[in-house]
A and B are shown apart, each in its own frame.
Chain A
Amino acid sequence: MNVQNIYDTVADMKEQIHAELSHPYVQKFIHHPTVDENKLLYICSFLTTLSLEQQKWSRCALSVMLVQTALDTHDLVSTQDVDSEGTQLHKRQLTVLAGDYYSGLYYYYLAQTGQIDLIKVIASSIKEINIAKIHIYHNQTQDVQDMMTNFFTVESSLINSLCDYFNCPEWRELLEHACRLNAISTQLIKLAKQEASILLDNYYKNGMKSIGIQEALYASSEPSISVVKQYLAAGSPFINEPLKEHLYEMIGSLERLKNVVGEG
């Protein structure tokens, strides 16, 4: 697939996902969900290398992204006490239902194409992700390493399962580490902007300081940077140009940030 094609594919998929996520009433009250474009690039890059019919791979990409969005949406459900008739409760109710709706759609689309094995693989991944989320969210005594391991399960389990399902170990290794780096970058941005996330919230809840989490994130990035660099240096033919460009850029920006922090 040439460079323009993969860009077009990602753009088309994004449009399709946005259309699926749209519900006129829900969108009146809650923000339209954000689609993780990096993960979409990983999934499309991977799936388009397989000999699958267009409808099958696009349903597959759509379903995985719907699940990802469903799970991300449920992370936004607030825990504070709210007025029983106020807009905050209304917003919370629709956030719960929007996530449920997207989950239902994942099952619906794979059922339509009869991809029952894939429904099972994704369900198993949803199960693991929620176990890991509860582990991060609730357990008070875990160490940073334990927390990072669970966090990476949350971030990469869906794509890992997809690669396992199609029996592509090289893609699995590359994308697992790409997902980790993508997640680390996102957390660093959230940290800088003082935004909430399941990882950061728990870190603060345990009384740890922000510099500690920053160091933990950088430390966790090192093995992943090394793996991704190896794939890039080997000139692995399955890595398309846009993906290559994205990975170089992500590694570069992480290394630059790390140096700034190190010098500071």
Chain B
Amino acid sequence: MKLKMMYTFLNTDIALIEKELEQRIETKEALITNASLHLLQAGGKRIRPVFVLLAGKFGSYDVNQIKHVAVALELIHMASLVHDDVIDDADMRRGKPTIKAKWDNRIAMYTGDYIFARALETITKIEQVDAHKILSDTMVELTLGEIEQIKDKYDLNQDLRTYLRRIKRKTALLIAASCQLGAIAAGAPESIHKKLFLFGYYVGMSFQITDDILDFTSSEEKLGKPVGSDLLQGNITLPVLYALEDPDFRLKVERLFVADDQTELISEIITYITSSDVIDRSVKVSERYLEKAMMILKELPDNKARKALYQIAKYIGKRKF
């Protein structure tokens, strides 16, 4: 089943969010509007707004209130993508030139800051102070996670804990916040929104681990970037961490990091990773997080949103790109 088919009952509200996103980024300065629209129209799964809306179904759902959270979270995600492309020096995203490639780094910085400001303007329509405490804390953690990622690049001596803490900050916390804030904005009780936070956290962890696996097992066509890109950029992900237990593999990676021509070595590394047990071991960790997410779901009231969350979590665990 396609992801979008799992929450067709939200179609009208998702269309509303899409329209609001376009309105939010519009400004008298044509370049900012064009740059932001360029990114917005490149698409994306809009998974964060979907989580916000679904979580809102566990309280008094009012789309005119909850939309502020959904729009703000997608804008925060968008702003971070614009800056990430400067960080990664990336020219392409979702098959389209990045803002930094189409214009330059400075335009990307200003556009990212502009989108971030629009996100905060939007979220201030939510009056619950707790929502702001959670989101602001998440945003600080998100950046600290990115700094950690840069710090840990090319470091072959990092351990599983370092990796898990990094992906928690980098990916899981924003998904967790999406779930929790949707529920808070809908006035759901604490017992519910805390469970939704945990659900989002576990799903987010599983999502990132799957992403890290796909970097080796998927194709360049599906990924939109060469297979093994993460490792080529020095990012030590879960499959690599497991493979590093083999001293021969470790030597190969050390050589890769200093090689002028990396083609042959990365190909050997990909073959090693895909033919050994490290992918299975990584999948098991991802599945463990998904199981925890499913357990949490069982504690939530049974409704259409819970079913959709279940389907999405299952999809995330099995996705191939």
Contact mask for chain B residues 20-47; partner A; CB cutoff 8 A; 1 contact, 0 none:
0000000111011000000000000000
Contact mask for chain B residues 111-139; partner A; CB cutoff 8 A; 1 contact, 0 none:
10110111011001001010011011101
Which among B29, B80, B117 is the interface contact of A134 at CB below 8 angstroms?
B29
B-side interface residues, number (CB < 8 Å): 43
When the two chains form their complex, are residues A111 and B86 in contact, meaning their CB atoms are under 8 A apart? no
Closest to A76 in B: B109
When the two chains form their complex, are residues A103 and B116 in contact, meaning their CB atoms are under 8 A apart? yes
A71 to B106 CA separation, bound complex (whole angstroms): 12
Given A93-B87, A100-B143, A104-B140, check contact A116 B107 (CB 8 Å).
Answer: no
Closest to B121 in A: A123
Which among B28, B32, B140 is the interface contact of A105 at CB below 8 angstroms?
B140
Report if A180 contacts B (CB, 8 A).
Answer: no
* A79: B residues at CB distance < 8 A: 104-106
* A124: B residues at CB distance < 8 A: 117, 121
When the two chains form their complex, are residues B121 and A97 in contact, meaning their CB atoms are under 8 A apart? no
Number of A-B residue pairs, CB cutoff 8 Å, is: 136
Closest to A131 in B: B29
Which among B89, B144, B147 is the interface contact of A89 at CB below 8 angstroms?
B89
List B residues 39-72 near A (Cβ within 8 Å): none
When the two chains form their complex, are residues B110 and A133 in contact, meaning their CB atoms are under 8 A apart? yes
When the two chains form their complex, are residues B83 and A117 in contact, meaning their CB atoms are under 8 A apart? no
Main secondary structure of the interface of A (DSSP, over half): helix
Which among A26, A103, A117, A131 is the interface contact of B28 at CB below 8 angstroms?
A131
A71 to B31 CA separation, bound complex (whole angstroms): 19
Which among B31, B86, B103, B142 is the interface contact of A104 at CB below 8 angstroms?
B142
A-side interface residues, number (CB < 8 Å): 48
* B298: A residues at CB distance < 8 A: none
Which among B32, B109, B117 is the interface contact of A96 at CB below 8 angstroms?
B109
Report if B146 contacts A (CB, 8 A).
Answer: yes
A124 to B121 CA separation, bound complex (whole angstroms): 7
The CB with the most chain B CB atoms within 10 A, among A90, A111, A122, A124, is that of A111
Report if B3 contacts A (CB, 8 A).
Answer: no
Which among B87, B129, B136 is the interface contact of A108 at CB below 8 angstroms?
B136
When the two chains form their complex, are residues A96 and B140 in contact, meaning their CB atoms are under 8 A apart? no
* B27: A residues at CB distance < 8 A: 127, 131
Chain A to chain B contacts (Cβ below 8 Å), 11 pairs: A85-B234, A96-B109, A100-B80, A107-B120, A110-B132, A111-B132, A119-B120, A122-B120, A126-B113, A131-B32, A137-B107
Beyond A26-B147, A75-B109, A124-B121: 4 further Cβ-contacts under 8 Å? A74-B110, A107-B136, A111-B133, A119-B124
By a beta-carbon cutoff of 8 Å, the part of chain B in contact with chain A is 27-29, 31-32, 80, 83, 86-87, 89, 103-107, 109-111, 113-114, 116-118, 120-121, 124, 127, 129, 132-133, 135-137, 139-140, 142-144, 146-147, 150-151, 234
